[in-house]
Structure 1
Amino acid sequence: MNFRPTAGPDHDASRPYSRERRVRWELNLDRDGQFQALVDLADPTDKAARSGRMKLVPNAGRTVAIAPSLGADDVQYILGWCDEQTKPERVKAAHAAFIALCRRWKHEHPDNDAARAIIAFYDRGGADLVPKPDKWASKETVTIVVDGRPSTDSAALWQLWKTVVEERKSGGGDDVRRGLCLACGRVGALLNRMPQALPKALVPGADQEVALISANKAIHTYDFSEGLGTAPICVNCGGTAVANLQTILADPTHTFTYPRQRTRLAWWITHGGHSATIALLDANPAAISDYLDRVYTATPPRSLHEHQLCSIAVSGNVARLVVHDWIEQPLAEAEAAVQQWFADHEITHRWQDHRARFPMWLLLTCAGQWQPGVTGAQGRYIPLYDKAADRPDDLAQLLLHSALYGANLPSYVLAHVVRRIRTDGHVDEPRAALIRVALTRHPHTTVEAPMPGLDPAQHDPAYVSGRLFAVLEATQRAAFPREEQPNTTFFDRYFAGAVANPRIALVQGSQLWPAWIKKITSSAERERTPQGRNKRRAAAAALRTRITDLLALLNAEALPARITTEAQSLFIVGYHHQRADDLVRARTGRAPEIAVNEQDQPEQPLNAVTM
């Protein structure tokens, strides 16, 4: 995507300084300015129009100053009506300012039918002729229709509106400032205020429309000047900046926005470039694996040297824009960083033959609270929009920054995920992947980053302890038929404590596993066929060998007791690696000692998590 300078409108060069707004009322006049009707555009039966309909109207962003728009504005401006939430003196001044602007429209365009009709309407009493509906508010939007045609369809209206906005924002008349624009490098009329604001829906955390740059008071600037004296930008560049940023933030294919996360990250590529690699960060797991498998085995299809990846991470504070990140880097470097991100979190999959890589939304989702299913129902992660989800508010920003620029993740990310796993008693592929990348990109790591899959050469006590815990769990499961599984399993009883202090759980497991092996062996004698007996005996022997081998590795270092957060994460990864490797081998017939049942099935499709 390549955003080029425009004349400053949001949607159409013929309608500068405009915006889609929800319009509640339509004031209908005939061509002579006679009042016809005040039509309520709200439709209670239509969810999209319960409070009015979206229409493109003049908009230039205003704060405390009285600044009327042309053809469409609030009830207080067009009709002069004052409700309990507004001040009568201010409403009176706003209404007079709107009429004055309409008179200027008629004066500069005397042949315009809409301007003549509107002034005729006000000259014969205006708002006094309009009956008040039962329910209305001073800040609801009204649009004026003359002889069946919206006044905002008039080319003369937009011509005047562009002039009015630029006059207001640059001082106008003899007060206009001229100087060198920091954006385009040309000398021209400079803005005192930005001509438009961003819709609050595009900026997380904003309570109202957001100003791109604002200095309404002297205390807002470092030299105690008002306006944009310390940030010189010309009229054209100011309008272009706001319009282009709004276009970028509103484009779902070039933004990453997640409910209850405090930032919105938008990205684009210069010189008409595009990048399927960057877009992978918001794709589904299957598409990610398919694309990366092809990328790793193919020759780069194009030269990326002339392209730059630009990205901005923003949030809102009331009506102010907060820029968390603004980075520009060569596209080739950005794509390499994203590919490394996927490599740093890829993890062995229990139920698929390839390693799993995950989109940002799924890594973010799995950092929240897990709700187990009830009476056989599937479990789920609490959706992103839920306040009870327990996710760091800045997690999306941190993950995206790390993915795009290779940055480390703060240590509290790892601590948070470990805590959620211990609390929920739930480990799956996305969580194991998030643990792995958080450990690999830990700012002060003291342990060796784990491999994507089972690593027999990794002898770290915490990692080996996690593997041993998984084998002990599998041994208990193999000892009992599916219908006789204990109500409280070894995992249920010990996993949460074992993550932080493996010694207690492993000591208990060391005392229990011989009885489980004996139960497997005794059940072999009850098998009706020689094949069944041999399979059970082989399972008992294989499990005994694996447990004793892992215990031997631990005996050299002694069983670990209370361990650090990094070591806890290694325990979790070791547990997942062993469990996933066992299940993969069991499915392929290479590990008959592992019991595979519905308890091991994935609780939900990995590409169908509720956001």
Structure 2
Amino acid sequence: MLLTRLVEHAPHLDLPPVYYRHRRVRWVLSLDAQGRVKSVDSAGHPTLGSLADGENRHGIDLATPYVYRSGAKPPPMLLVDTLQYVLAMPVNDSDKAEAEAIRRNDAYIALLEQWFEHAPDESTAAAVLAFFRRQDHLNVTIPEDAKPSDTLALRVEGQWAHEADSASSVWRTVVAQRKGSDTGQGVCLACGQEGALLDTIPEPVKAGAIPVPTGMGRDTVLVSVNKSAQGRGGRIQLADIPICDGCGSTATAVLNSLLATNEHRYRTSDSVTVWWLKRPTQVSLLRSLREARPEDIGALFAELDQPHTGLENTRTDPNAFYALTLSANQSRVVVRDWLDVPLTDALTHARTWFQDHQIQDVWQTEPQHVALWRMARCLGRWKDDDTGKGYAKDSEPKTAERTLLSMALHGEHYRPPVFLLQRLDQRIGADGHLDLPRMALLKLLLLRLNPQLRETVMPTLNDNDDHPAVLCGRLFATFEQIQYQALRDPATKKGPNTTVTDKYFTAAKARPLSVMEMVRDTANAHLKRLKRDSPGAWGGLSNRLDVLYTRLGGAPPATLNLEGRALFTLGYHQQRADDRAAAAKAKEAKAAKAAQDTPSAETE
């Protein structure tokens, strides 16, 4: 269960006290041991200290008492709260706003009284309460740039008041009373132990931790049933989801901690995925997927290839991998995906991911891996204009990166939606751009949508693949090479400004028979010129044409479906990459021979 796994991970994290959360604190009120303000203005009025500076315009980050609050009369938080609560600062000049500020301030002071009653020997509590009992807070000079929503903390003799042990103890009791269930005691669904049950989850997921389309995040609740239609038998809140006080607070605290750590989260445009291990190790699985750095991939493969005890491929695996994908719907958390598998399964899925998309690039001799985010980005619009080259920002489908991440985590049997291949095919046809990310994604989608292709589709050109669409793609690449060799400038080595690919590629992969026969007529004219100017190139290319046409049975198919168009594109790309690699190898061999034939200085 998700909540259980979160709670189990708590010992591996440095969490703040229960029902404390890191917040930005803008102002500080410094008191002495008698509860008198240490800083006053020229009129003798107490003044606030600012915690903002050049690097922290909104104050400093502190772990402070916090609980999700709502309703017409939201209750106060202990010690650290807004200026409305601490200094009775109204939001405007209306009588209603002033009355509400006084109400909140009274409730804030009543909570301080409760703290002092719980710990009468606590000197910090005595000092703070003395300050408010004298009503000195009503005489504090509030800076002009202060807002009622700014957060203020109290410090007594240089120590933060909310960090006192008695303060955290009282705050936990207060929150338990506020959020406690009407049913009282019961067996917790998460830990299986009997304890005080909650009515609602006290701590929310921090605003901004989960991406939202509008960019304006808000606090969200992990478990929320506040409408009778949402609950079983019309029951609301946690009536059918018994969660104890400890598990309710710890689960969200762990989740907030993971969401705040780059090492354990993967943010996309519409979701965020957090991951953790039952037994933490140095493997960073999501980072290897996100960035595809060779050293991370190597470490992942090395971890998987280590000698094992024989238990790793069973449910008794001593280590486990957990991944949780979340999005937000207003104030509720939406669980998009939950993965709980042995670590070896997760590593195997990652290795399969890298193997499935690995492909040779036209600029590299060895097959390459591609970062997951780049494959998602390549589903967008390619631009090449005065502003530069690249994929237009946010032009890819919003769900693309999340879907690809699910493919990587769930393994080869996770079937992706066909629309991804449709989108990729459409974008390649629309902007005529082929690069490493697009070809890696194309190969990946082909293998995941049709596993039978694993026997023939390889990272490099498979000369034994007789699929008609692949042979057509190789033919088209050969036509392009013939044109280039025949029309290139001998001095600059540049080919024609407009190639057969620029004109006919999109049409050829959809209707290869009619289009490629037309292109072949043009290629025959180029071959005559090539036979005259470069007999070696003519011999190799004309022979390849004959072989490919023979394997096609004499003519290309009339039309190709979506998979066929993708295979056509793959065959075209891999033929080009193979030609480039062969040319580079020949150039290296020629240079090596020239170096051997050149006499050294010592020989001379």
TM-score normalized by structure 2?
Answer: 0.84
CA offsets per residue over residues 70-95 of structure 1, 9 Å max, x none?
A: 12111211122222599625433322
Distance 1:307 1:79 in 2: 51
* Structural RMSD (CA): 3.2
Residue 121 of structure 2 aligns with which residue?
Answer: 111
Listed one character per residue, the Cα deviations across residues 454-480 of structure 1 (whole Å, up to 9, x for unaligned) are: 123323332222111111122222221
Match for 1:391: what amino acid? Answer: E
Query: Following the alignment from structure 1 to structure 2, what is the Cα–Cα distance between the partners of residues 265 and 583?
Result: 39
Does structure 1 retain, via aligned residues, the 8 Å contact 2:512–2:558? yes
Structure 1 unmatched runs, 5+: 525-535, 593-611
1:547 to 542, 545, 548: 545
Is the 1:10–1:17 contact (alpha carbons within 8 Å) kept by the matching residues of 2? no
Aligned mates of 1:6, 1:580 — CA distance in 2: 47
Match of 1:422 in 2: 429
Give yes or no for contact 2:225–2:236 (8 Å, CA) kept in 1.
yes
Say which of 344, 347, 369 aligns to 2:359.
347
Corresponding residue for residue 78 of structure 2: 70
Q: Which residue of 2 aligns with 1:37?
A: 47
Asked if the contact 1:8–1:16 (Cα under 8 Å) also holds between the matched residues in 2, the reply is no
Q: CA deviation at 1:248?
A: 2.7
1 CA distance for matches of 2:11 and 2:47?
34
Q: 2:348 aligns with which of 322, 336, 358?
A: 336
Q: Cα distance, 1:346 vs. partner?
A: 1.9
- C-alpha contact 1:25 1:142 (8 A) present in aligned 2: yes
How far apart, CA to CA, are the structure 1 residues paired with 2:9 and 2:522?
73
Measured after TM superposition, the shift of residue 356 of structure 1 is: 1.9
The number of residues matched between the two structures is 561
Q: Conserved in 1, the CA contact under 8 Å of 2:264 and 2:286?
A: no
The letter for the 1-side match of 2:585 is T
Give a deviation string over 1:569-603, Cα, whole Å, max 9, x none. 111111111111111111101899xxxxxxxxxxx
Relative to structure 1, the CA distance from residue 336 to residue 446 in structure 2 (aligned partners, 3 Å threshold; closer, same or farther) is closer
Higher relative contact order, chain-length normalized (CA < 8 Å, sep 6+): 1
Q: 1:53 and 1:104 mapped to 2: Cα distance?
A: 28
Q: Is 1:267–2:266 an aligned residue pair?
A: no
Aligned with residue 243 of structure 2, among 206, 211, 233: 233
Gap regions ≥5 residues in structure 2: 38-45, 590-604
Stretch moving more, 579-588 or 446-455 = 446-455
Match of 1:575 among 556, 572, 577: 572
Match of residue 43 from structure 2: none
Letter of the aligned partner of 2:129 in structure 1? I
Answer yes or no: is the 8 Å Cα contact 1:418–1:568 preserved in 2: yes
Are 1:411 and 2:418 counterparts?
yes
Tell me the distance in 1 between the aligned counterparts of 2:581 and 2:85. Answer: 70
Instruction: Write out per-residue CA displacement over residues 58-110 of structure 1, whole angstroms, 9 at most, x where no aligned residue.
Output: 11222335121112111211122222599625433322211110111222223
Q: Work out whether residues 378 and 396 of structure 2, in 8 Å CA contact, stay in contact via their aligned partners in 1.
A: no
The question of 1:397 aligning with 2:405 is answered no
Q: CA deviation at 1:163?
A: 1.5
Q: Which residue of 2 aligns with 1:199?
A: 206
The one-letter code of the counterpart of 2:541 is L
Q: Take 2:293 and 2:570, find their aligned partners in 1: how far apart are those partners?
A: 20
CA distance in 2, matches of 1:444, 1:457: 18
* Alignment CA distance shift 1:350-1:104 (3 Å): same
> Partner of 2:439 in structure 1?
432
Partner of 2:169: 159
CA shift, 1:373, in A, is 6.5
Matches within 5 A, 1:108-257: 108-171=118-181, 177-205=184-212, 207-257=217-267
Alpha-carbon shift at residue 500 of structure 1 (Å):
3.0
Cα deviation 1:147-206 (Å, max 9, x = unaligned)? 4432223222112112212222215xxx56111111111211101111211112322227
Q: Compute the displacement of 1:410 (Å).
A: 0.8
SS in 2 for 1:209: coil
- SS for the counterpart of 1:55 is strand
Say if 1:9 and 1:18, in contact at 8 Å, map to a contact too: no
Amino acid at match of 1:398: T
1:441–1:349 distance in 2 versus 1, CA, 3 Å: same
2:24 paired residue number:
22
Q: Normalised by the size of structure 1, how large is the TM-score?
A: 0.83
Secondary structure in 2 aligned to 1:358? coil
Q: Structure 1 295/462 Cα, relative in aligned 2: closer, same or farther at 3 Å?
A: farther
Question: How many angstroms apart in 2 are the aligned matches of 1:435 and 1:7?
Answer: 41
- Cα offsets for 1:358-384 (capped at 9, x unmatched): 332232233333233759x7x3334xx
List per-residue Cα deviations over 1:433-487 (Å, max 9, x = no partner).
1111111112799998623221233233322221111111222222211365332
Q: Output the CA distance in 2 between the equivalents of 1:291 and 1:329.
A: 20
AA in 1 matched with 2:123:
D
1:408–1:443: 8 Å Cα contact kept in structure 2? no
